[in-house]
Amino acid sequence: MKILLTGGSGFIGSNFVRFVLRERPGYQVINLDALTYSGNPENLADIESDERYRFVHGDIRDIDRVAELIEEADAVVHMAAESHVDRSIMDARPFVESNALGTQTVIDALRRANPKLTKRLVHVSTDEVYGTLPLDKPEVKFTEDTPLQPNSPYAASKTASDLFVRAAFHTFGMDVCITRCSNNFGPYQFPEKVIPLFVTNLIEGKKVPLYGDGRNVRDWLHVEDHCEAVLAVLEKGSAGEVYNIGGNNERSNLELTHSILQAMNCGEEKIEYVKDRLGHDLRYAIDASKIERELGWRPTRSAWPGALEATVKWYVDNPQWWQRVRSGAYRTYYEKQYGNA
Ligand code: NAD
Ligand code: TDX
């Protein structure tokens, strides 16, 4: 199987490349990535010389380029997106362009390059499309049938892309699957997201900015568990179906912060309560029983607090990675490897 992966130089994408090449030695991966601020080819420096892997610098909105690559591939796993909620609150336009327009372009390219529609598209969506859950009803979780009620510009743009993929199935009979996953953690996450931001702040002796009262809840899943689930959907999912993916691992942000502080041997005084995120979703919780029942997937790498501690340790052990990322200096690595295209 030759997979065209979009967004493979980001956090989940780079973990996915490594995971697939390790778990499926006969597979090949072409990674199409525009290298936006969060795309970093250094994330895959150890894989670059592997002949089963190829990097292509390009944008998913370039239909000719995407179609050309689809001709070579057997299936598409679509992860490229603008991914940070806070950035979408500051400026939603890149989210409309990459997430909504970009996804429709991938669909158009699939129709052009693969008129018989035999090649599968796995669209990596998010639990944020469902909106938010109340804190006082712990038994209620998102199922695949929960209405889509996105609350942030990021979530709205991901919902648009999710629905364009649904429409491609219903209108054209395209072979698509959609995954909706909860919050990921693990190595190579851009240090704007809460876990790497807090850990790297603490290493630098700074405080951690906790939004609002810290009662918001997220369902944390190790990135390799997510990668395994996406691969299961690619290989065994039913066309036209949506699969929720979650860790069954709900933590309030305050609880998460305390666990990070403990792992870093820091005290409560390091918490700085700051103004809340606008429109901050209260709680995400995923019911992942469908993917477990139908595809036999369940998380095995997300157990708390061990998996969190191992992730904290990865950032402690790899200061050169996040220092270069924070300073933007990793771009020079790219220029050295690939030229300034
Ligand atoms: P990320 O920001 O780390 O990586 C995104 C990648 O996409 C980057 O390499 C970037 O260069 C690339 N990209 C962006 N726009 C592009 C474009 N127009 N053309 C080509 N490449 C482009 O994000 P991530 O956390 O790895 O998320 C990957 C996917 O998973 C996203 O679709 C996101 O919505 C989804 N997701 C993320 C999480 C999470 O917790 N991080 C949870 C559920 C779903
Ligand atoms: O500085 C911070 N302080 C803080 O309290 C940051 C950056 C975040 N937070 C809170 C906000 C959220 O409740 O921590 C929680 C997690 O925030 P993020 O890491 O920004 O993730 P979130 O907004 O939950 O979205 C993530 O999960 C779903 C990913 O970024 C999305 O791409 C994915 O779809």
> How far is 245 from 226, CA to CA, in rounded Å?
7
What's the whole-model pTM score?
0.97
Report the DSSP beta bridge partners of residue 120.
75
Catalytic-residue membership of 128: yes
Q: Cβ–Cβ contacts within 10 Å for residue 165, how many?
A: 24
Closest CA to 302 of 239, 226, 241: 226
pLDDT at 341 over 50: no
Determine the pLDDT at residue 335. 58
The count of structural domains within the chain is: 1
151 inside domain: yes
Q: Where would I find the beta strands (DSSP E) of 149-237?
A: 176-181, 184-185, 208-211, 217-219, 221-222
Summarised one tens digit per residue, pLDDT across range 263-283 is 999 999 999 999 999 999 999
Task: Determine the structural domain holding residue 110 and report its residue range.
Answer: 2-190+221-248+280-301
Determine the pLDDT at residue 327. 84
284 inside domain: yes
199 inside domain: no
Q: What is the mean pLDDT of residues 182-190?
A: 98
Which of 33, 128, 228, 250 is catalytic? The answer is 128
Determine the pLDDT at residue 298. 98
Q: Which ligand is nearest to the CA of 188?
A: 1
Closest residue by Cα to atom 20, ligand 2, is 193
**Rounded to the nearest whole angstrom, what is the distance from the C-alpha of residue 105 to the centroid of ligand 2?**
27
Determine the pLDDT at residue 175. 98
228 inside domain: yes
Identify the band that residue 253 occupies on the pLDDT scale cut at 50, 70 and 90.
very high
Summarised one tens digit per residue, pLDDT across range 121-168 is 999 999 999 999 999 999 999 999 999 999 999 999 999 999 999 999
Q: What is the mean pLDDT of residues 43-62?
A: 96
**Rounded to the nearest whole angstrom, what is the distance from the C-alpha of residue 50 to the centroid of ligand 2?**
33
Q: Cβ–Cβ contacts within 10 Å for residue 40, how many?
A: 24
Which of 53, 82, 130, 154 is catalytic? The answer is 154
Residue written as token pair 């598209």: 121
> How far is 13 from 282, CA to CA, in rounded Å?
27
Summarised one tens digit per residue, pLDDT across range 203-228 is 999 999 999 999 999 999 999 999 99
Closest residue by Cα to atom 30, ligand 2, is 84
**CATH number of domain containing 8:** 3.40.50.720
37 inside domain: yes
Determine the pLDDT at residue 60. 98
16 inside domain: yes
Summarised one tens digit per residue, pLDDT across range 294-323 is 999 999 999 999 999 999 999 999 999 999
Determine the pLDDT at residue 328. 75
85 inside domain: yes
Cα→Cα distances 107→14, 153, 175, 235, 245, Å = 22, 22, 11, 19, 23
Q: Which ligand is nearest to the CA of 192?
A: 2
What's the one-letter identity of residue 147? P
- Concatenated DSSP letters of 217-262: EEE-EEHHHHHHHHHHHHHHPPTT-EEEE--S-EEEHHHHHHHHHH
Mean pLDDT of the chain: 96
Residue written as token pair 């038994």: 139
Residue written as token pair 């912060």: 257
Identify the band that residue 340 occupies on the pLDDT scale cut at 50, 70 and 90.
very low
Which of 33, 42, 82, 127 is catalytic? The answer is 127
84 inside domain: yes
- Concatenated DSSP letters of 1-54: -EEEEESTTSHHHHHHHHHHHHH-TT-EEEEEE---TT--GGGGTTTTT-TTEE
Catalytic-residue membership of 62: no
Identify the band that residue 180 occupies on the pLDDT scale cut at 50, 70 and 90.
very high
> How far is 102 from 105, CA to CA, in rounded Å?
5
Sign of the torsion angle spanned by Cα atoms 242, 247, 249, 254: negative
**Rounded to the nearest whole angstrom, what is the distance from the C-alpha of residue 85 to the centroid of ligand 2?**
7
Catalytic-residue membership of 330: no
Q: Which ligand is nearest to the CA of 36?
A: 1
